[in-house]
Amino acid sequence: MNTIKNVLPLVFMFMTGCGSITPTNVADSIELNLTPTVIKPNDISDTCLQEEHIDLGKLDLSGKIFLSQDNKYRVFDVATDSFVDIPENAHLSPDGEKVAQYDNDKQGVEVSTLTGNLISFFPRDAQWFEANSALYDNTSAVQFDWWNNHFLYIRSLPVGSQLMLDIETGKTHKIEFPYSKEVWSLGGAMDIRNNYVGFSPDLDEVIYASTASHLVLRNNSIYPDGTWRTVTWVGFSSTYSIPRWSPDSSTFILVIDSSKNTRNIENLFQVSADSAVGEKQLTDLGSLFNNPYQILINQFDWSPDGSKVALTVHIALDEGGKSISRLLVLDVETGNIEDYCNPDPDTPYSSNGYFSFIWSPDGKYIATDTAIVDLASRVAYKFPDLYIVDWAGEGKNR
């Protein structure tokens, strides 16, 4: 786990009796970046990147790529230029050194090396069963994934806790979430961790939408009794997308509908975890794409070093239905936005133009479903017979 951060500004708020702050003037708390520097081609076609077809092993890549090929799940080790087959239900650790899977016969979680050598086995705990049966209606398996290279998280209930399994000690740590009923638009049994709630990488803070107009940040470490209390309110929108914490847990980004009409123009905003209130607008996509009819941000995520943010946007150019999809990369410090068009327009895995992406561990590439984009050369290497699931290695924390 990361070292607990210094949160003196938040401590000062409670010493002065401020348990939460709701601003009276929203405009004063928002910094707008209305004229971003944009690096993009003159045209806005979906094929503006140079495309090349090449063998995966001939690219100068790093890390390990988790992919599906010929109905098999495989890990391509870039360093050795070799493939290792792994079970379909296996999860690759962020560093690419281990896989974890649920063994139905043994009724437990098995952690092993990529070559199948057993590292540890954890019999199913009653807490795991309780937390998953209500969510997935499956009494014979446990839903889980890697939190970092040392912990597995067991997906939590809407009312309950976040369960973390330490693969070195075998102990299950419970992180209480007693305020989960406050989560906005929460209905039925669902995994709130990936919908309305975002834990920081060090698990010291959590953010969630509490109403249609507020996003709550709670901090844990500054209270000796471990109780999480409201320390800040941010937001001011009825539209939220899953908040994404920076790798160092110092800030997070989220999507807010910033249009002042009915066109639904979404933009990316940044919030500092040490600030009492307020967001910084990072994009002005309406101006960037000449005020289209609608812009929806489908996915966004930090680069491994936290210097850039990639996002995919779906843009309706007119009310008649003409639309395009784009991959954009934002330099957080300079505000520069580079437009990589749609690097995967013909993928069989995309739906209505939407596509997903994954950062490479070194931040030099972005993989979509069936392509790898070289950010420096603006070349999209196509692999139509592959489906890229994940990309692990040094530099990736989660």
The answer on pLDDT for 377 being more than 80 is yes
Q: 69-78, 136-145, 177-186, 264-273: which range is least confident on average?
A: 177-186
Question: How far, in Å, CA of 338 to CA of 332, rounded?
Answer: 12
> What is the CATH topology of the domain spanning 8-392?
Methylamine Dehydrogenase; Chain H (2.130.10)
pLDDT of residue 75: 93
Secondary element (H or E) of residue 110: strand 108-113
Mean pLDDT estimate for the chain: 75
Give me the mean pLDDT over the 277-292 stretch. 83
Instruction: Give 66-78 pLDDT, tens digit per residue.
Output: 999 888 899 999 8
pLDDT of residue 92: 93
Question: How far, in Å, CA of 143 to CA of 91, rounded?
Answer: 11
Instruction: Give 119-146 pLDDT, tens digit per residue.
Output: 999 887 777 766 555 555 555 556 788 9
Q: 38-47, 86-95, 341-350: which range is least confident on average?
A: 38-47
Question: How far, in Å, CA of 309 to CA of 304, rounded?
Answer: 10
Give me the mean pLDDT over the 114-118 stretch. 89
Instruction: Give 74-108 pLDDT, tens digit per residue.
Output: 999 988 888 999 988 899 999 999 999 988 888 88
Tell which phi-psi region holds residue 27, choosing left (phi > 0), alpha (psi between -120 and 50) or beta. alpha
Instruction: Give 203-258 pLDDT, tens digit per residue.
Output: 777 777 666 566 677 766 555 455 555 555 555 455 566 788 999 988 888 888 87
* Alpha-carbon distance values, 110 to 18, 77, 129, 289, 363 (Å): 47, 21, 16, 48, 30
C-beta neighbour count of 393 within 10 angstroms: 22
What confidence tier does 174 reach under pLDDT thresholds 50, 70, 90? confident
Closest CA to 192 of 174, 203, 177: 177
Listed by start position, the domains of the chain span 8-392
